[in-house]
Structure 1
Amino acid sequence: MKRKKYMISAKIFQRILLMATIFVSAGCQKYLTVDPVDRLTGNNFYLNKDDVEANMAFMYSKFFDKIRESWVMGAIGEARSGEIKATTNQGDARTRPLDPAERFVVEVLGDNDLLTAIFSPTYVDYELSKITNWKGYYQVIQSANILLSKLDEGIPGVDGADKERYIAEAKFIRAFTYFWMVRLYGDVVYYTEPYFSQSIGRENMVSVLNKCIADLTPHKDQMPWTHSDPSERGARAGRGAIIALLMHMHAWNASFDRANSQSHYTVVAALGKELIDSKAHRLYDLTPQNWAEVSKGRTAESLFEFYRSINYGDNNWFSETWDDFDPRNHYQFWSHFLRWPYLFPRHDKSISAAYYVSEYMNAIYPDGEADLRRDMWFDDIASDNGQFALKKFAYNVYTSGNEQGYPDNSIIIFRYSDAILLQAEALAELGRDNEAIAAVNLVRKRADASLYVGAGGSDLKDFIYTERCRELFGEGHRYFDLIRTRRILNSQWTMAPMNLDQYTRGAWTWPLDQSAREYNPHIVLNEYWTTTGR
């Protein structure tokens, strides 16, 4: 019992230490971790441009805090697609002696058994219940609504191009937060008024995204392609980030708003062309050094990211004693797929905690076909055991010997190649096959992979989808691509297919916490998870 008490105290101490570090950070990190200054809602706060900057910083920070309070980056976009298995080998300290089943959360998620993953004591350290609570996201939205209201009223020293840019940036943050929630919960409560207090129900997600699109599109050109401060590239939204978000929202609605799918695809194709023609972003040659820069962040390949760095005090390490294991300390998805020599020390990091099954890996990266990504991003790609290593995220390891540590990477949300492949997908859906082939081959060429020379139509569409699996591996797009393309309904494309009834009733969403109904009786929880749940 005394030992248990010590374990809890150690965790509390670590969290306090992390919070203390966060609030003394500086530089680019101000867009991730800042003092909220009384939540920046008082009328007496918006007195000058610095106050606007502080509010912007708070919104980025609040969203970043929300996504790192749990293993959300692993749980929502990758693990649910069914290809991940937990390693049963010995030699990995991430399996605690008291609870060796903890790592099997990846398989529970792959079975779409979210209720077990969320509520079973076995997986409690992953804090997946926090994914079901949307309060933190609405705090970001509320801050954006208030700032936009104040900008409309007028803030001393903020006018002209500066004012327009701030409006565009705030509307990006608001629209991005709604988009993120739609992919998690489906229908959401939509509002844009400051100090909103009415009790209203959830709005159809297609309608929400259409409103976000209409709200954001007129402000796209008010944002610069790049910021004057190089440290803000990617870490702060520019025009490329707005274009990427608009492309994703249109692509999502193309599936769920079938009657207007061609209109959505037409816009995606046009936006992709605008982004490519701008030459503001580029694909880096695929070398270890270049990829280390891309995964570290703030490059011309990044469209939007949450920049993080041990230089700013981000918690990037495991505890010295594994009794204090806390997945929130390594909320990055890739932490479960690395081993020595990409993690240290060797004696307790000799295997990866999980792996992708060889059937899937060989399907997207066929053995014998040239592809730099297969060579650079993986070790023991078809091993079906803990020797599998996703070294795509292992090029920024700053530990050695007996030190404890994980790669120092940023969380990249939108990357240039993602936008190119979305454009290729839209062009294929519009029957513009030659243009689609040219787009997908931009990404293939960078990987030194053979160029696509096959047929158009369904063959091309399937190839582009698979290219997204290859290029965006581990970046949180896989499951959402399955949902929006409806390939989740076909076992050809996933090891965790669902039937049409499950899909229609929202089996792809996350449960919504009961707290959403507090002070708002109009909220109806996600029906699938309040009834069947399997």
Structure 2
Amino acid sequence: MLDVILNFKPTGMKTMKIIKKITKSIVILIVLTSASACKDYLNIQPVDRLTGNNFYQNKDDVEANIANMYSRFFEKINESWVIGAIGEARTGEIFVSPNANGYNSRKAIEALGRNELITAMTVQDYVDRYHFENITNWTTYYQVIQTANILIDKLNEGIPALGDSDTRRYLAEATFIRCFTYFWMVRLYGDVVYYTEPYESDPLPREDMVSVLNKCIADLESQKDNSPWTLSDVAQRGARASRGSIIALLMHMNMWNAGFDQSHSEGYYRKVAALGQELVNSGAYRLLPMDDDNWALVTKGRSEESLFEFYRSINYDDDVSNLAPFGDHFLRWPYKFPRYDAQISICYYTADYMEKIFPSSEADKRKDIWFEEMLANDGQFVARKFGLNVYASGNENKNPDNTFLIFRYADAILLWSEALANLGEDGSATDALNIIRKRAGASDVTGLTGTALKDAIFMERCRELFGEGHRYFDLVRTRRILNSSWVAHPLNQDQFTRRAWTWPINNSALTNNPYMVLNQYWLPGGGGN
């Protein structure tokens, strides 16, 4: 019956009303019916609030609109422990520390690790703490996209107060924001509704995710060279899109498509290899030395290593939820306050996993700088990587003053290395890999070829990007998510094909859109819990 409703094309208002009434009467899943209905299928804001025709009069108007887009996107990753939930916790290596504060509600993290998303979003203790159901609602993302679409349209029309150089730069930045939002949604939901018209209101079906990303790649390629390598205001480094941000996003989108459009993978790898070389040749970014002080600069934000981040600082009184930063779950006193309430870390990574990625027998500065009690298997585990920017006072119930790292220079170098390895350019791939290992004080990789080299690069991404929200997506796009040697709770081929790696899509997406279908795996009878 549900399939009939979702695929039926109404021919009149009376039929539409009947369908709406039936749809509302069916309980698909508690989590998928939690959001209130919207006025149209994307629930976009009124045009006069976004960009009314009289809005764009000068550069300040454009700046305000772009700042709003970044802010709206950050709202979504500030709703819960989002980076951890979507990019790190679904592989089963994270456990709740015995006697952790709110122990029963924290068990939602372990449910994520078993890919029991519905459980994590419906058990009341879990809901009260995390509200992971918010991740299923893509409304805010589409608000960002519509704002970007309208700004791009206005810039193409011409804003008299802007010169050609500023117009090109803002077009590149708005295109980056739109494409980044689509890329983020693709990794969460798979196929998505794609549109670029400024005032789109017609219902549209979801489009194949490879097609969506190919369109985004084409858009960004046309804009890349219109963005500067560095911004005139150093305070905007990383926090605003630059050419390095665009290259990083292009590299990620091409690598994602290489994993899902395998018949054309060589073309995607060649693009990534060329982009990586361009980024390194620019000299615009660098890896900071691996020590406490320099790593604190990286996590503080706006460092020479940042390609794109959501910069947040206590100095600007930014409203960051205590729950949102990844490090929140892996810090204890003296890295987290108040002392009486933070004697142990909320969660820990298993000793088996940590020993696998950071073998005790191998030298690596990251082990000492980024962790404390790395093999503790309990609440003494500390991801010191996120704990170096501590507060001066021990009374605030706050996390260290860190930014939200999205793309970092080291990430791009490792993608470059991975692409080269997949093109059979083993020597160049190894050289790129060793750039990261040298900075970490680890021994050079030598003599590896083929699969062994690709595995070494993957392991380096696990090490270098620990806790930055990449690991789960790397497992999915490389299909290592199917292999128990790489993940504690692998998917089988049938689950992968039916996209058990996605998140459910909130039922509100069906409103007034007869072409919309949800992620079937997460519907009753689809196989998800």
Same fold (TM over 0.5): yes
| 1:115 and 2:112 correspond | no
Is 1:287 aligned to residue 282 of structure 2?
Answer: no
Counting only pairs closer than 5 Å after superposition, residues 359-370 of structure 1 correspond to structure 2 as: 359-370=352-363
Give the one of 54, 79, 85 matched to 1:75: 85
1:47-86 equivalences under 5 Å are: 47-86=57-96
Give the superposition deviation at 1:454. Answer: 2.9
Shift in Å at residue 206 of structure 1? Answer: 0.1
Gaps of 5+ in 2: 1-45
In the alignment, structure 1 residue 447 sits paired with structure 2 residue 451:
no
**Counterpart residue number, 1:276:** 280
The whole-number CA distance in structure 2 between the counterparts of 1:371 and 1:38 is 54
- Superposed counterparts of 1:252-263, under 5 Å: 252-263=256-267
1:189 to 2:189 alignment: no
Q: Please give the residue correspondences for 1:294-373 in structure 2 after superposition, counting only pairs within 5 Å.
A: 294-315=298-319, 328-373=321-366
5 Å-filtered alignment, 1:474-485, equals: 474-485=467-478
Q: SS of 2:87's equivalent?
A: coil
Q: How far apart, in 2, do the equivalents of 1:82 and 1:272 lie?
A: 32
Question: Match for 2:140 among 127, 130, 136?
Answer: 136
One of 132, 143, 150 as aligned partner of 1:146: 150
Matched, 1:435 2:438: no
The equivalent residue for 1:44 is: 54
Q: Which runs of 5+ in 1 are unaligned?
A: 1-35, 317-327
Does 1:265 pair with 2:269? yes
2:517 pairs, out of 506, 517, 524, with: 524
CA distance in structure 2 between the partners assigned to 1:75 and 1:405 by the alignment: 20
1:253 Cα deviation (Å)? Answer: 0.1
Q: Distance in 2 between matches of 1:348 and 1:57?
A: 36
Return the offset for 1:365: 0.3
Q: Deviations along 1:226-259, whole A, 9 cap, x unmatched? A: 1101110000000000000000000000000011
Q: Residue 284 of structure 2 aligns to which amino acid in structure 1?
A: A
Q: Write the deviation string for residues 103-132 of structure 1: whole angstroms up to 9, x where unpaired.
A: 111100000000011111111121111100
Separation (CA, whole Å) in 2 of partners of 1:448 and 1:463: 16
Q: Secondary structure at the match of 1:101?
A: helix
How many residues are aligned here? 482
Residues 322 and 328 in structure 2, CA contact (< 8 A), matched pair in contact too: no
Maintained 8 Å contact 1:397/1:405:
no
Residues 135-155 of structure 1: CA deviation (Å, up to 9, x unaligned): 000000000000111111111
Residue identity in the other structure for 2:121: I
1:458-481 deviation line (CA, Å, top 9, x unaligned)? 110000000000000000001000
Measured in 2, the distance between the counterparts of 1:471 and 1:79 equals: 17
State the AA in 1 paired with 2:178: R
**Aligned-partner Cα distance in 1 for 2:80–2:260:** 29
Where 1:261 maps in the other structure, the secondary structure is helix
User: 1:488: which partner in 2?
Assistant: 481
> Contact 2:80/2:323 (CA < 8 Å) preserved in 1?
no
For each residue in 1:312-368, what CA deviation from the matched residue of structure 2 results, as whole angstroms up to 9, or x when unmatched? 11245xxxxxxxxxxx43301110001111112333211111000011100010002
Pairwise CA distance, 1:301: 0.1
> Is the contact between residue 329 and residue 347 of structure 2 (CA under 8 Å) also seen in structure 1?
yes
Three-state SS of the structure 2 residue aligned to 1:236 is: coil
The sequence identity of aligned pairs, in percent, is 62
Q: Which amino acid aligns with 2:352?
A: E
Superposition map of 1:241-252 within 5 A: 241-252=245-256
Say whether the 8 Å CA contact 1:186–1:205 is kept in structure 2.
yes
Equivalent in the alignment of 2:528: 533
Shift in alpha-carbon separation, 1:403–1:216, aligned structure 2, 3 A: closer
Q: Does 1:456 align with 2:449?
A: yes
- Aligned residue identity for 1:242: I
Distance 1:362 1:103, change over 3 A: same
1:41 shift after superposition: 2.2
CA distance in 1, matches of 2:240, 2:394: 35
2:383 match: 390
Deviations 1:427-456 (A, max 9, x none): 000000000000000000000000001321
Answer yes or no: is the 8 Å Cα contact 2:322–2:399 preserved in 1.
no
The Cα shift of 1:386 comes to: 0.6
CA distance in 1, matches of 2:151, 2:304: 29
> Pairwise CA RMSD of aligned residues?
1.4
Alignment CA distance shift 1:198-1:403 (3 Å):
closer
2:107 counterpart SS class: helix
Distance in 2 between the 1:361 and 1:211 partners?
A: 39
- The Cα offsets for residues 38-67 of structure 1, whole Å up to 9 and x where unpaired, read as 533210101122111111111111111121
Post-superposition offset of 1:402:
3.8
Find the aligned partners of 1:406 and 1:38 in 2 and give their Cα distance.
Answer: 38
TM (norm. structure 1) is 0.89
Q: CA deviation at 1:160?
A: 1.1
Per-residue CA distance 1:495-521 (angstroms, 9 max, x = gap)? 010000000001000000000011212
8 A Cα contact 2:327 2:386, kept in partner: yes
Contact 1:224 1:239 in 2 (8 A): yes
In structure 2, the residue matched to 1:424 is: 417
Partner of 1:127: 131
- TM superposition score normalised by structure 2: 0.89
- For 1:142 and 1:39, locate their aligned partners in 2 and report how far apart those are by CA, in whole Å: 12
SS where residue 406 of structure 2 aligns?
Answer: strand
Task: For 1:263, give the aligned amino acid.
Answer: G
Query: Counterparts of 1:255 and 1:485 in 2: how far apart (Å)?
Result: 6
315 and 165 in structure 1: CA distance in 2 versus 1, 3 angstrom threshold: closer
Distance 2:57 2:219 in 1: 26
